[in-house]
Structure 1
Amino acid sequence: MPTYPHYRDLHTVEQVRVMEREALIALGISGHDLMRRAASAALGSLRRHWPQARRVCICCGPGNNGGDGFLLGVLAREAGLQVELVALSAVAHGDAALARSEWEQGGGQVRSWDAESRLPVADVFVDALYGIGLNRAPEPSAARLIDGMNASGKPMLALDVPSGLNADTGYCPGAAIQAEVTVTFIVGKRGLHSGRAADQVGQLELASLGVPDSVYACVQPDAQLLIAGSMPPRARYANKGSNGHVLVIGGGQGMAGAVRLAGESALRAGAGLVSVATRAEHLLALNATRPELMVHAVDDVQVLAPLLERASVLALGPGLGQGDWAHALWQAALDTNKPLVLDADGLNLLARKPCTFAVPTVLTPHPGEAARLLGMSIADVEQDRFAAVRELARCFSATVVLKGSGSLIADPDGRLDVCPWGNPGMASGGMGDLLTGVIAALLAQGCTAWQAACLGVGLHARAGDLAAQNGERGLLASDLLAPLRLLGNGMSTHGSERG
């Protein structure tokens, strides 16, 4: 995506509509003129990505997104391309009607889509069906058209938003376009960056359409994309005590790997000291494989107490379990009121006994854990991940990371950042334990909860992308440790990161 001053800003549909109105005033142009700018940007994208394409099929809806499509047809025909127009409706509305009239007055034909229709032959299909306005499943006729475009085997360019994808939430309630490229207009829409969006958007481009800065200044973004960051260089006189002491609490029966990954990632992310409180059965394995961890057998709360006292930050939950032992350690840890990262069974225990936090705290739920914390279904969480993460942050007075494709970070005041990195290979065991350790280490080194969550999520996801250069399938959590160390120091490996 081209970088311009507002590329990180993400807005809701309501905010986008306000900005579109302000843009017309600021530019002194009509809605039809703005539509033509969008069509020109779309043609530029089409020619860049598919320079050999000669036959283009543009599928248009009755609204402004369809108007963009009709004007794209006009410009593409003027550029010498063979253009077929397929329309969902016999009529268009507002500025889209003017656009359709311009296409027809130039001799263009419109194929009406109905139950008997078949898509024409094309080198590239263009989706101009719905745009930002759709917040429901497409109607059956439109769904059949969407399914036909997806099944065509030809590349697809989506205008503004892939049809069927909710531009606010990233949720798809029904059929949805699977685009190779999406060119979105004026400003970023938050729903293009989380949830199902990763499977629908493809390569995302942002075309500002020449909108002036004054328009962006009139509406505060609802969310922002994370930026790539690292920790500053250490002072030359630093010692291990200068960089915090993380205590990882967890590792119930058979779960030594969870605390090993959390502890080692805390070390690789720069914590000066890392202790592990776990079951006695894990001591030999952990000491043998990672001697830099200070591993302690903790059978009861009395043994845990001095470890809690020495620690500066707690990482509570990896492999913890939910039995009596786990609950006792969980409660003792919370009672210390020390900065805290809570994950896995630490969150499941919180769902059983909710509380708010008065100290810097980061919760890192996946959608299932988020659903338990909110008392709703996973489907409800996924239907609006943005609302869910904000509600979690408000309810628990904590910074919350809602993990998944396009991880979200929210604080109790409603601030929200979206992670643009990560890949499907990271959907494997141990990745969450790794993230817990990274965030805890950043807290221990002096970051605020918000800083630790944002930087930690970004480092974790970027490390995952670097590790996946050898292939996504089969990616292990421990594969992230080497690139994590490099990225945390502001360095990179051979090759390039995505995003």
Structure 2
Amino acid sequence: MPHRIPETSPLPHALYRAEQLRLLDRAAIDEAGIAGGELMERAGRAAYRLLRTTWPRARSLTVLCGAGNNAGDGYVVARRAAADGLAVRVIALADPDGLRGDALAKAVAYRDAGGRILSDPALPARTDVIIDALLGIGIGRDVEGRWAEVIRASNAHQAPVLAIDVPSGLDADTGAVRGTAIEAQGTTTFIGLKPGLFTGAGPDCCGRIHFDRLDVPATVYARTVAAARRIDWPSQRHLLAPRRRTAHKGDSGHVLVIGGAPGLAGAARLAGEAALRAGAGLVTIATHPAHASWLNIGRPELMCRGVETPVDLAPLIERADVIALGPGLGQDAWGEALWRAALNAERPLVVDADALNRLARAPRRSDHWILTPHPGEAARLLGLSTAAVQLDRIAAARTLQERFGGVAILKGAGSVIVGPSHRPPAICSDGNPGLASGGTGDALTGVVAALLAQGLELEEAAEVGVCLHAAAGDAAAREGERGLLASDLIAALRGTLRSVEAR
């Protein structure tokens, strides 16, 4: 039986926190006149329709129901499945008679139709699909006791799991796992998308995401400002205009990459090559003299200059439009001198790697840079543990931006971008695990610097760059995620950008 959730229509871009979704749910009832029971029926019907589409040969179903409205959705799925002749087992971790309102009504309807509700939390040895209707967005603390045991048993079971609204144990706002969480093959979510589905542990827990607005009218959303934005390459590429037929290299900007201490030359090379492939007209690498003469072997379009001191660097800065600072910069005195010179240059900066570690030791603010930390670097910048950063990636990115200025990109699954504008934080939903390899962060630095050099504003360059980088990674991953190299991603940039030129 296939375990792959089918492709669905494009997902919305607005992301709402759990409290906002409760208000939207209430507005759908009070303002749009949709009864709560009808909303629940629609949610259960949508989940069951997805189940039948994804696993058409399924003949047995185990539905895990909890204590809130999420359980009501589960009872609707169970009733519909039983009516279709499927063998249905409902396991209730909370007494169904203790449910309230619409959820109680759906449990009663299932039981009145002849359905049985079991209290024994043991999963059957054989079942075709497991439906997770335990907790939804209602989680307020870490999952413990038999609730955690059932979640762990579901994850260990051979049957695929379909989560309703939010995988149980996943914080809908942050993407943090609260103790333990369902790891579903698919998640069907309703009314509004949640930030936690797309960042932190969300991609691991959700599988493929399917969205259904449940026919809630657009007027219900009119007064609610989204808490965050989901961005992807199709939604961002319009910010890059096709090139004029008379364009020349000077029109596309000059990127200066500063980095490549002895033993670390590859990072600077990757950043430089990515900048070229992302459309920069000229790229110069200011690197250690020990390897300047051979760094561009195989890529002669890169101009490599050996620099010993800031005096050597000054004429290169003068000719540059944008500086990419940090790939392979190292932690010795050579890197320190170049770091200080770059900070004093009146050029936009993309700051990464060793430059971020230096910033953590000597904090300062700037309105003219883009910071690109991974969670470990963000932890050093904020004086936190990496685990604390990952508990709330959106809050961490926002704090980075407030403390250091400019634009912050918190890299990782569901990269988060926060800029100085009043727009909600952005979360990139493109990308794949193949990007978790050395050098892909250096490639992102080059991509973002190239977009700045081509005229995008800081926040635009950060958002477009993250999505372009992730989409190129997805294109490269068609040959397989495991073993994907940064150079594979860089090679895929040109093809990914073809959609811009085709407009």
Aligned counterparts of 1:216 and 1:80: Cα–Cα separation in 2: 38
Q: CA deviation at 1:3?
A: 3.7
Choose 264-273 or 99-108, whichever is displaced more: 99-108
- Secondary structure at the residue paired with 1:57? strand
Structure 2 gaps, min length 5: 1-6
Q: CA deviation at 1:222?
A: 1.2
Aligned counterparts of 1:394 and 1:490: Cα–Cα separation in 2: 35
Q: CA deviation at 1:118?
A: 4.3
Given candidates 229, 251, 257, the residue that maps to 1:224 is 229
Aligned counterparts of 1:305 and 1:216: Cα–Cα separation in 2: 53
Residue 118 to residue 492, structure 1, CA distance change in 2 (3 Å): farther
Aligned length: 489
What letter is aligned with 2:250?
Answer: G
| Equivalences for residues 172-187 of structure 1 within 5 A | 172-187=177-192
Given candidates 396, 421, 437, the residue that maps to 1:428 is 437
Q: Quote the residue 1:267 is aligned against.
A: 276
Aligned counterparts of 2:285 and 2:157: Cα–Cα separation in 1: 54
Q: Quote the residue 1:132 is aligned against.
A: 137
Q: Quote the residue 1:113 is aligned against.
A: 120
1:343-383: CA deviations, max 9, x gaps?
A: 00111111111111132x21110000000111111010000
- Secondary structure at the residue paired with 1:489? helix
What letter is aligned with 1:476?
Answer: L
Q: Quote the residue 2:152 is aligned against.
A: 147
| Equivalences for residues 196-211 of structure 1 within 5 A | 196-211=201-216
Given candidates 398, 401, 419, the residue that maps to 1:393 is 401
Residue 288 to residue 152, structure 1, CA distance change in 2 (3 Å): closer
Q: Quote the residue 2:308 is aligned against.
A: 299
Given candidates 99, 107, 110, the residue that maps to 2:106 is 99
State the percentage of identical aligned residues: 50
- Secondary structure at the residue paired with 2:290? helix
- Secondary structure at the residue paired with 1:164? coil
- Secondary structure at the residue paired with 1:183? strand
1:54-85: CA deviations, max 9, x gaps?
A: 11110100111011111221222222222111
Q: Quote the residue 2:490 is aligned against.
A: 481
Given candidates 158, 166, 171, the residue that maps to 2:163 is 158
Aligned counterparts of 1:250 and 1:489: Cα–Cα separation in 2: 30
Q: Quote the residue 1:348 is aligned against.
A: 357
- Secondary structure at the residue paired with 2:409? strand
Q: Is the 8 A contact 2:186 2:210 kept in 1?
A: yes
Q: Quote the residue 1:366 is aligned against.
A: 374
Aligned counterparts of 1:374 and 1:452: Cα–Cα separation in 2: 24
Q: Quote the residue 1:496 is aligned against.
A: none
Given candidates 21, 40, 45, the residue that maps to 1:40 is 45
Aligned counterparts of 1:136 and 1:54: Cα–Cα separation in 2: 35
Aligned counterparts of 2:86 and 2:501: Cα–Cα separation in 1: 43
What letter is aligned with 1:30?
Answer: A
- Secondary structure at the residue paired with 1:238? coil
Q: CA deviation at 1:387?
A: 0.5
Aligned counterparts of 1:475 and 1:443: Cα–Cα separation in 2: 26
Q: Quote the residue 1:412 is aligned against.
A: 420
1:177-213: CA deviations, max 9, x gaps?
A: 1111110011101100011111110111001100000
Choose 256-265 or 322-331, whichever is displaced more: 322-331
- Secondary structure at the residue paired with 1:288? coil
Aligned counterparts of 1:320 and 1:70: Cα–Cα separation in 2: 58
- Secondary structure at the residue paired with 1:282? coil
Given candidates 220, 234, 243, the residue that maps to 1:234 is 243
Q: CA deviation at 1:95?
A: 2.3
Q: CA deviation at 1:284?
A: 2.1
Q: Quote the residue 2:4 is aligned against.
A: none
What letter is aligned with 1:211?
Answer: V
Aligned counterparts of 1:492 and 1:35: Cα–Cα separation in 2: 45
Q: Quote the residue 1:332 is aligned against.
A: 341
Q: Is the 8 A contact 1:258 1:430 kept in 2?
A: yes
Q: CA deviation at 1:492?
A: 11
Residue 119 to residue 175, structure 1, CA distance change in 2 (3 Å): farther
Q: CA deviation at 1:120?
A: 6.2
Aligned counterparts of 1:65 and 1:492: Cα–Cα separation in 2: 46
Q: Is the 8 A contact 1:425 1:472 kept in 2?
A: yes
Q: Quote the residue 2:31 is aligned against.
A: 26
- Secondary structure at the residue paired with 1:299? coil
Aligned counterparts of 2:15 and 2:242: Cα–Cα separation in 1: 31
Q: Quote the residue 2:67 is aligned against.
A: 62
Q: Is the 8 A contact 1:65 1:131 kept in 2?
A: yes
Q: CA deviation at 1:41?
A: 0.6
- Secondary structure at the residue paired with 1:401? strand
Aligned counterparts of 1:303 and 1:107: Cα–Cα separation in 2: 83
Q: Quote the residue 1:191 is aligned against.
A: 196
Aligned counterparts of 1:463 and 1:27: Cα–Cα separation in 2: 42
1:248-297: CA deviations, max 9, x gaps?
A: 00101111111111111111111111111110011122132322111111
Q: Do residues 249 (structure 1) and 266 (structure 2) align?
A: no
What letter is aligned with 2:167?
Answer: P
Structure 1 gaps, min length 5: 494-499
TM-score normalized with structure 2 length: 0.94
Q: Quote the residue 1:71 is aligned against.
A: 76
Q: CA deviation at 1:102?
A: 1.5
Q: Is the 8 A contact 2:269 2:296 kept in 1?
A: no
Q: Is the 8 A contact 2:475 2:496 kept in 1?
A: no
Aligned counterparts of 2:87 and 2:123: Cα–Cα separation in 1: 18
Residue 250 to residue 133, structure 1, CA distance change in 2 (3 Å): same
Residue 293 to residue 118, structure 1, CA distance change in 2 (3 Å): closer
Aligned counterparts of 1:490 and 1:482: Cα–Cα separation in 2: 15
Q: Do residues 276 (structure 1) and 295 (structure 2) align?
A: no
Given candidates 9, 16, 28, the residue that maps to 2:14 is 9
Choose 367-376 or 404-413, whichever is displaced more: 404-413
CA-based RMSD of the aligned residues comes to 1.7
